[in-house]
Amino acid sequence: MRLLGSDRHDRWVAIRSLLSVGAVVGVIALLFVGAGGVDVAADKPHSWLTYRVLHFAFGQSVGVRASSIVPPDDLDSAARIRLGAQQFHLVCSNCHGGPGIGQSPLALSMEPRPQSLPSVVGQFSDAELFWILQHGVKFSAMPAWSTKTRDDEVWSTVAFVRKLPTMTAAEYLALTAPPEADPGIPSAVPPFSAPDALRPADTARNVPYQAPNEYLYAVPALGFGDRTAMANPLALCGRCHGADGTGMIAGGEAPNLVIQDPEYIRASLEAYATGGRRSGYMQPIAAQLSDHQIAALADWYAALPDKSSGTVPANPEVEARGRKIATEGLSTVALPACATCHEGEVRARIGAPRLEGQSAVFLRRQLTAMRDRNRGSTRFWNPMPAVAGHLTDADIEALAVHYASQPPAGAATSPSLAARSAIGGDPAKGEQMFGAICARCHTPAALGDEAGDIPNLTLQLPRYVASALRAYRSNERQNTRMHLVAQDLDDDEIEALAAYVGGLPPRPARLSPVVGTPERGEAIAHDGIPDRKLPGCLTCHEAGMTAALPLIPRLDGQNAEYLRKKLDYFAGPQASQLSLLNPMPAIARNLTETERADLAAYFAAGRPFSKQTEAN
C-alpha cells in the first residue's frame, strides 16, 4: 500500500513540476512577445522547422477536410475550363504566375511565398484543390472564395487549374486573351470616377473582435491586381460574355446578356457588387464598378441585337416536359408555371429575367444553385428557392432545354398566360360544391365572417382561387382546416369551385371594427417605406398585377380584422415555416403593429376591383 501511495505522490509531483515549467515558459513567451521580440518581417524567411511544420499542418488539414468531397463528372468540359481560366488570369495569376510564365516579384516577396501552380498542382487531388480554393489558407495570403455557396464556380476554376502542368504559355495566352471587339466599344462605358457615395456591401466575413472599424465593406471598391474593370469594363466582360454578349465564348457557362432588359442587368450588377446575389466570379468585378459604369454596361448589352446562346441537342420528349412545366407548372405540388413571372407585363414589373434563348448550361447551374439556396437574390423577394426546391434533376434539365431552344423574346409571340391558364371548370358544379363544402364557414354569399377569421372570397379571380386551393391541397400553403377540405379535391373539382367563386360579383366584406387609420395605411400602400427597403403594397396588389399574376390576392374590400390578423401572423415566429414563395413574412416583420393595422384599415375601406375586364 505504501508503494502504491508513493507512486501516486510521485506522479502528482511530476505533473505539478510540468505545469510549473509550462507556466514559466508561457510567461517568458508572453514577455518576449510583449517586448516586440517576434520578428514579423516578410523579408526574412521562416526557419527550417517553421517551414516544415506549417507545410505539414497544411497538407494534413486539407487532406482530412477534403476526404469527403466528390468532384463533378464534367471537369474536362472545355466550357468550364475556359470560364475558370478567366478567373485564374484575373485573380490567381497575380501571385501564382502561369504556365511558362514567371511569378510577380511582389508575390515572391511574400512570406510564405505563393507557389507556382504549374509546378505543384499535381501534388493535390481535385477535391483538395476545391477545398483550398473555396476556403483559402490561414497564415498565408491565399484568400477564400468571396462567396461560400457557389461550388459550381469553384469547380470550374479547379477544372482549369488541373490543366496547368501540361499547358504551354501560348495556349494559356490564347485561352485568356480578351475577344476582339469593335474599336468603338471602349468609349461606350466611361472610365471609373470618384463615387458620389458608397453603398454597404456584404459583411458575412466580418468578425466583431477583429476591430471591424478597421475594414471598409462598401462599394465601389478597388480590384485585386488587374484594373481593367475600372478602366475598360467591356473588355473585361467580353472575356466570359463575348463581344456579342451571348456568353457562348465560354460555352454557355456565362449567361446571355443581350436578351435582358437594362433594368434587370443593372439590378443584377448592383446585387453582385453588394453580395446580395452570390458569385465569386462576379462580385469582385461588379464591386469595382461605379454607378455610371453599371448603368452604361446595362444599356450597352440591352441594346445589342437579341441573339440566342446557341442550339441545344434536339430531344423532343425532354423539351416537351420542360414546356409543360414552363406553361402549366406542377399542380401536384402547387408549383406555378414559370411563365407566370417570366412573361409579359408581370416579368417587367417584378424584375424577372427573360429566359427564352438563354444558355442551357447556365440555366441548369442557376436552377441547381437556387434549389440548394446558394445563389442569393437580385431583388427584395426571390421566390426561386421555393420553386426550384420542387424540381428534380430531370425537371431542371427539361426546363433548361426548353428555354434554350426558344428564340429570344419568344414569349411575345406565344399565347398569353391568361389564355393558357384559363379556368375551364363548370360554375354550376362549383356552386353545388360550394354550398355543400364551403358555405358553412365562408357563408352562402362567400363574404366571410365579421370576426375576421374567414376571408371574403368574392374579391378574387378564378385563377387565384384555383392556385390557392392547389396550394392548400399540397399543404404548400399551411392551414389545417383548408388542407382537410382541399386534400380530397381533384383538379376538375378545384376548377369548378374556382369558376363559381371567381365569377361572383365582388362585394365588400362585412363590417368589422377598424383599429388602424386608413390615411396612414394609404401612404405605405402606395409608397412603401424606403428607409426599410419595403416596397409599396400596390406594387403587387393593384388590379392589373393581381389579374396578371394569379399568386397574388386582391385586398380592396377585404375584412379589416382578417387582414390585420394575417399581417400579424406573417410578422410572427410561426410564419418562418411558410414557403419561401411567400414574400409576406419578410415584409410584415419590418412593419410595426400600428402600421399593420393601418394597412388593414386602408384596404378594408377600398372599393373591390371589377372582374368584368379581367380574363379569368
pTM: 0.83
* Domains 67-176 and 219-307 are alike in CATH topology: yes
67-176 CATH: 1.10.760
Question: Does pLDDT of 587 surpass 50?
Answer: yes
Note the pLDDT of residue 512.
65
Note the pLDDT of residue 594.
95
Note the pLDDT of residue 181.
60
Q: Give the pLDDT confidence of 554-569 residue by residue, as tens digits.
A: 999 999 999 999 999 9
CA 210 to chain CA centroid, nearest Å:
28
Can you tell me the distance from the alpha carbon of 508 to that of 213, in angstroms, rounded to the nearest whole number? Answer: 55
Percent of the chain clearing pLDDT 90 (strictly above): 55
Mean pLDDT of 63-79: 95
Mean pLDDT taken over the chain: 87
Question: Predicted confidence band at 419 (pLDDT cuts at 50, 70, 90)?
Answer: very low
Matching residue, cell 415555416: 577
Backbone angles phi, psi at 384, to 5 degrees: -65, -35
Q: Give the pLDDT confidence of 85-97 residue by residue, as tens digits.
A: 999 999 999 999 9
Q: Give the pLDDT confidence of 217-237 residue by residue, as tens digits.
A: 788 887 776 666 677 888 889
Note the pLDDT of residue 547.
86
Percent of the chain clearing pLDDT 70 (strictly above): 90
Q: Give the pLDDT confidence of 34-50 residue by residue, as tens digits.
A: 888 778 888 888 889 98
Note the pLDDT of residue 333.
81
Question: Does pLDDT of 616 surpass 80?
Answer: no
Q: How many residues does the chain have?
A: 616
Any alpha helices (H) in 312-392, and if so which ranges?
A: 316-328, 339-342, 344-350, 360-371, 384-388
Q: Choose among 249, 229, 242, 87: nearest CA to 155.
A: 87
Can you tell me the distance from the alpha carbon of 345 to that of 12, in angstroms, rounded to the nearest whole number? Answer: 81
Whether residue 555 contacts residue 541, with contact meaning beta carbons closer than 8 Å, is answered with yes
Of the candidate CATH numbers 1.20.1250.20, 1.10.760.10, 1.10.10.10, 3.30.390.30, the domain formed by 219-307 belongs to 1.10.760.10
Q: What is 316-414's CATH topology?
A: Cytochrome Bc1 Complex; Chain D, domain 2 (1.10.760)
Question: Does pLDDT of 599 surpass 70?
Answer: yes
Question: Does pLDDT of 56 surpass 60?
Answer: yes
Three-class DSSP category at 64: helix
Spans of all domains in the chain: 67-176, 219-307, 316-414, 427-604
In angstroms, how far is the first alpha carbon of the chain from the final one?
96
Q: Choose among 327, 333, 260: nearest CA to 297.
A: 260
Q: What is 427-604's CATH topology?
A: Cytochrome Bc1 Complex; Chain D, domain 2 (1.10.760)
Bridge partners for 4 per DSSP: none
Can you tell me the distance from the alpha carbon of 371 to that of 388, in angstroms, rounded to the nearest whole number? Answer: 5
Highest mean pLDDT range out of 13-22, 334-343, 357-366? 357-366
Mean pLDDT of 124-150: 93
- Cα angle value 279/409/79 (rounded, 5°): 40
Question: Does pLDDT of 185 surpass 60?
Answer: no
Contacts of 311 by beta carbon, 8 Å cutoff, 6+ apart: 405
Mean pLDDT of 341-367: 90
Question: Does pLDDT of 54 surpass 70?
Answer: yes
